[in-house]
Structure 1
Amino acid sequence: MSSLKFEYRDNGIILKTLTPASAERVLMFYKKNSNSFDAYETAKPEGFYTLGFQKRLIAAENESFLKGTQMRYFLFDERFPQDIIGSVSFFNIRRGDFEQCCIGYKIDEEYRHMGYGRRMLELALKIITVDYGIHRVEAYILPANTPSVRLAGQCGFEPEGIAKGYVRMHGEWTDHMRYVYISRYQ
């Protein structure tokens, strides 16, 4: 495993970790897309859509990044690097005989169907497998989230089955499809 890297550039995109100084941009990204993101995510904690919460969240994510337990990269286009286009995160990172993690990703509504999601996931999967030595990446996706299912398939994820009652969303235990990506770089 190589040392931590906070920014990657490839194929016209930038993936980078942010500091609390970027909390206002992150908050705008989440607020702008709250309706579409919230449809496929668990309930947000109280105060999530506040500047103070986002500053604390980014600081906590950076701490986890430095410990190697979680990573979040935000997506930018080199042509307009001030706009957050999406994010990809790796969490539940397990080492030793497992070398696995889970992935979550999202793209701003304005930039969907433009190839950003695929380029982001391809680069992120290369980062987590090559630079950080992760062998297995799992994605849990609501069956109704067809754009995410399609994107996962395009990026090499294979269906592994249904995770019954996987997580409580909107007051109900929901099933998710489990997809897996096995590193082709190791």
Structure 2
Amino acid sequence: MITLPFHTNRYFILRHGHSTANEQGLIVSSPENGIGNWGLSETGKEEVTRSVTRAADEGLFNSLIKPVVVCSPFLRTMETADIAAKILKAERFSDANLRERFFGEFDLKESGLYEKGWAFDETNPDHTEFGVESVSSVAARMVEVVKRTGRRYNEKDIILVTHGDPGQILQCVFDGIDPAKHRSISPLETAEIRPVPSR
């Protein structure tokens, strides 16, 4: 089981807002396709603004210390992070380890094909069926982000702007759940902010 290093920060997962890929029902999982294209839809921009503003107004973040926003380099997460950082007046930078889980031969195909990759996850977190990145690989790189930010910051609110599978896999690590069971937890909705650990 992958474990987290000691840290003094509070972590939050923010899934990107509704994207043009979501709009078209497509899987966009490779950096080649996701970094320069497939940003937020207008709906996505609006829902990120609402979500982050509401979280700030409700006191989810420490108002005495500016948070840090760390994001996947994909266009949809960069645009989400830009909106969040502007609202929160936060420092923002990208980390490639927060990128989308690569879905191999299903990249740029219809999103219903996610199910084919997920079907193998719970029984084998190391599987790479159809060229899909393994759960174990995603978990390891997501934990690396926590390690890096834990070394760089102390007692900060750190918002990790990422994607559905990586976010849920990281939540499992924070919650002490086998990451292979990431589909058994409540799905991260677009623009949802989730404190971790969640319990």
Q: TM-score, normalised by structure 1?
A: 0.29
Higher strand share: 1
Greater helix fraction, Structure 1 or Structure 2: 2
By relative contact order (CA 8 Å, sep 6+), the higher-ranking structure is 2
TM-score normalised by length of structure 2: 0.28
